A and B are shown apart, each in its own frame.
Chain A
């Protein structure tokens, strides 16, 4: 019988009532008296020298309050990068300046040149058209390999070249060389992990509101981590002390990583509001989002696997070019290195693993974390490679994987991380039970009778979530700690507000977090609310990304609740005239062990705030506790996925018929929400594999700059999913034993889909090693027809 409340129950998402009835409060819903509107004049060329920006005519146009250009930001800090990567020669990565508004040069289509602040948006747009910009267009650098050739045009003139860093990591060279020298078989694969645009349903919005009465600035913004924005923008860009800067991220309509980062528009509205002493609002159009939101992925990789005569994996090496775009976004440098290289062992006990990454500047929009962030790129190349190896060797792809699974935990990989727990055979067993492999031949024959090619693809994945142990990431270059924090504030009558550093932008924290607190206290979930997204209300937490909310912030909340219980027991012991050691808490009642004496939760909380009968000599009144939690390790969700497709060989069109996902997320608090997270991740993974493609031409013009050309997955592109999370190896180092589920679907699904398509084509007699994503009809047709 499933539980109907607390941990393990699936109450409906309480936040959905307001989201689905139009009562949500998004940043664009916030309007402040005296508000002005800003329109950014953006570069329409990918690369050029700014000779002049003449705002004279525009400044006199109706409604214009002030026009800003790069010159107004001299003396203001640039947008910082939060992760210092050290290259293989021990040198620091190159960190070019990233001004709020372009200074001297424009470096990608969409780079902001000037900002018009006006009484209305239309007036701002009108005036922007009257700004005369004189730009000498320069050759654009788009392709990463050409960007690294000697004599290439430089994106940043003050750097020696377009190489941000050349990073190497993993087993020592001799071990890797030996594995390949002694290999019975080597499988090699060249591939591209396609560039994506995150496309949250809500575009980015920023509203800066300066209050001269107290010299305080408030930034309302679409962010996944308001405290991170406050720290970065306050300390590094604008020089505003934290106590004079409040960052509010109210309801946020999807983030997927792209709302982690500190953006120029946020700094602009905060700065400009102080300058003009009025609120300044910016709402991105969808067209602007395509050319100003950080993009995702965009890796070009060669990967090789060495196997011995018994098909054991003996060595793996991978060489990746990672596109940084024109500027270093907040966490861009960490994605292809520490979030990617550390996962290259995958689920396998390959003894020698080496990862090489060259990060490259190009005249394109900055690239940063997008759902999975480095881990999808690692999983895709590894799981495509293993599948290719199985085909070359003529062995069963599941058997080859099983043979090489890690089976003993903890397991220290050759790429720095230690998996605390897992059971990869168990999730594969479950997957096999979900997909009726025995019946596949008959299904393939049925498809063939209709002229269609049927394929089945599988893969495994491992990810590192619960980001992250601060001491470890500090050694790796992070310029921040990655703990989180929660304050549990018990009110006099027993209801509870939990202030959390995590931010919910679709994850369902408002439902899940109270389930945990209510379970611990034995009270009704309805008595618990969370407060998030406002730096003036919540403790300093690092926000939500990397499937970290429950594993890190949830752990802080558990620790704070434990402190509450400890204190409440002291109060109860006093009220019951018993020893604290004898007090038990169950179902919201404190009782004295072995007696029928008890006192209710509400009586204890009331005593804490009305301390007439209270041990004032021992403890303070009130019942409010804060905990900061720094994880001891990453968490390692893992799983096995399968996809069944049908290919129309006449058109190249791929139809996804079936998708099965067997995950080990550790303990699960709300199974319904976990399944929803997997569904969403699968849709994004299928989108990447089949549809989504952010493409530039050789001049740096964005070809897929709207939904007319950028294909998002729609309901009829995806099948009814089969999902399972019944295999549970609890995380060994956090109090809830949870691992995180937000990114798994997006990480695990692209290789399964591509493996399935190649299975369909190769079983039909073709000999196709790989097709780059997205597997659009024209690409599949071209592969079939050579």
Chain B
């Protein structure tokens, strides 16, 4: 990697100030950034670590909402988000133990890898992403591959999930990386059903609105019989064609609905 400075502020204000410097880069677990640096594919002047900021840590539940600090590692979410079991289970199946003890929810959402798990949870649950300057609805937050509504230097401070009545996440793993080849997060709250798909689309995480409409009337796997997404917009690579991923979106959605129904 190229040489850089590292600061580890203990307050959000210090972090935001440090991020205002030229070519400064936020580091929140570093599970993508550190390998990128090792390959000399990025050249920040300063890394601003967010994981030492106490206000960005932890899981709290309050009145049907669960709020997770932006720098909370996946392992903590897996252990402490018990009031939203589908979310805890998702966090507990990201990567391996080393990744789960380092990687953070804010880091994942800020990176918005098209195959990451957390974007599906945030979009599927209708979460709110709170930053140092504003609150952004998940529906407005994800804007394509590795692209989000975050401005330069903006920090994810917390993510709030309304706890749904029913939910499940089903991930079909890419055999090598074990990222999601297709992952589907389904929630049901009253008549409101959300289906968020990660891993599959050239545009990153998306909501499958046709399936949502069908499931709103009948929250059962067979409700989406006959529905399909188009393979044209799906990722096609060594591990599967767009058509295969489109097929898996249907299969995984049904399995997620079945799992959500217990």
Show the binding face of A for B, using Cβ within 8 Å.
Answer: 122, 125, 129, 287, 650-651, 653, 691, 693, 695, 703-704, 707-712, 776-778, 781-782
Contacts and interface: CB of A to CB of B under 8 A. Distances in A.
Given A287-B39, A650-B251, A782-B244, A704 B238 contact: yes
Contacts of A125: 40
A691 B248 CA distance: 19
B176 A704 contact: yes
Nearest to B247: A781
Nearest to A712: B176
Contact of B177 (A129, A707, A777, A778): A707
Contacts of A695: 238
A709 B172 contact: no
B244 A709 contact: no
A709 B177 contact: yes
Contact of B175 (A122, A777, A782): A777
A778 B39 contact: no
Given A691-B176, A776-B240, 17 more contacts: A125-B40, A287-B39, A651-B172, A651-B251, A703-B237, A703-B238, A704-B176, A708-B176, A709-B238, A710-B176, A711-B176, A778-B239, A778-B240, A778-B244, A781-B244, A781-B247, A782-B244
Most chain B beta-carbon contacts within 10 A, residue among A653, A695, A781: A781
B241 interface: yes
A708 B177 contact: yes
A695 B238 CA distance: 8
Contacts of A778: 239-241, 244
A122 B3 CA distance: 9
A523 B121 CA distance: 66
Contact of A709 (B176, B240, B241, B248): B176
Contacts of A693: 238
A129 B40 CA distance: 11
A564 B14 CA distance: 76
7 contacts: A129-B40, A651-B172, A703-B238, A707-B177, A709-B239, A777-B181, A778-B244
Given A125-B40, A778-B239, A711 B172 contact: no
A691 B3 CA distance: 37
Nearest to A287: B39
The 9 residue pairs across chains A and B that have the minimum distance between CB atoms: A711-B176, A778-B240, A711-B175, A708-B177, A778-B244, A650-B251, A709-B176, A703-B238, A691-B175
A723 to B, nearest CB: 25
B154 to A, nearest CB: 28
Interface of B: 3, 39-40, 172, 175-177, 179, 181, 237-241, 244, 247-248, 251
Most chain A beta-carbon contacts within 10 A, residue among B3, B179, B240: B240
A782 B241 CA distance: 10
A178 B130 CA distance: 79
Contacts of B40: 125, 129
A776 B251 contact: no
A263 to B, nearest CB: 23
Q: Is the interface of B mostly helix, strand, loop or mixed?
A: loop
Contacts of A129: 40
Nearest to A785: B247
A129 B177 CA distance: 29
A707 B172 contact: no
A653 B247 CA distance: 13
Most chain B beta-carbon contacts within 10 A, residue among A129, A651, A691: A651
Most chain B beta-carbon contacts within 10 A, residue among A125, A129, A709: A709
B41 to A, nearest CB: 11
Contacts of B251: 650-651
Most chain A beta-carbon contacts within 10 A, residue among B40, B244, B248: B244
A287 B39 CA distance: 9
Contacts of A707: 176-177
A436 B244 CA distance: 36
Contacts of B237: 703
Nearest to A695: B238
A708 B244 CA distance: 19
Contacts of B176: 691, 704, 707-712
Contacts of A708: 176-177, 179
Most chain A beta-carbon contacts within 10 A, residue among B3, B176, B239, B251: B176
B248 to A, nearest CB: 6
A129 B248 CA distance: 43
Contacts of B179: 708
B218 to A, nearest CB: 21
Nearest to B254: A650
A694 to B, nearest CB: 10
Contacts of B240: 776-778
Given A287-B39, A711-B175, A711-B176, A776 B239 contact: yes
A221 to B, nearest CB: 24
Nearest to A778: B240
A703 B237 CA distance: 9
Nearest to B1: A122
Nearest to A126: B2
B37 to A, nearest CB: 12
A125 B175 CA distance: 32
A651 B184 CA distance: 14
Contacts of B175: 691, 711, 776-777
Nearest to A776: B175
Contacts of A287: 39
A785 to B, nearest CB: 8
Nearest to A690: B175
Nearest to A707: B176
B239 A651 contact: no
A121 to B, nearest CB: 11
Nearest to B248: A651
A695 B239 CA distance: 11
B249 to A, nearest CB: 12
Contacts of B241: 778, 782
B257 to A, nearest CB: 14
Nearest to A691: B175
Nearest to A782: B244
A778 B236 CA distance: 11
Contacts of B248: 651
A49 B157 CA distance: 52
A655 B241 CA distance: 21
A776 B237 CA distance: 13
Nearest to B250: A650
A704 B251 CA distance: 27
Contacts of A781: 244, 247
A709 B177 CA distance: 6
A710 B238 CA distance: 10
A125 B172 CA distance: 39
Nearest to B252: A651
A695 B176 CA distance: 13
B234 to A, nearest CB: 12
A154 B221 CA distance: 56
Contacts of A704: 176, 238
A777 B175 CA distance: 8
B76 to A, nearest CB: 24
A585 B235 CA distance: 73
A704 B177 CA distance: 11
Nearest to B181: A777
B262 to A, nearest CB: 17
Nearest to B241: A778
Contacts of A703: 237-238
A712 to B, nearest CB: 8
Contacts of B239: 709, 776, 778
A727 B152 CA distance: 69
A230 to B, nearest CB: 34
Nearest to A648: B251
Nearest to B182: A651
B222 to A, nearest CB: 14
B3 to A, nearest CB: 8
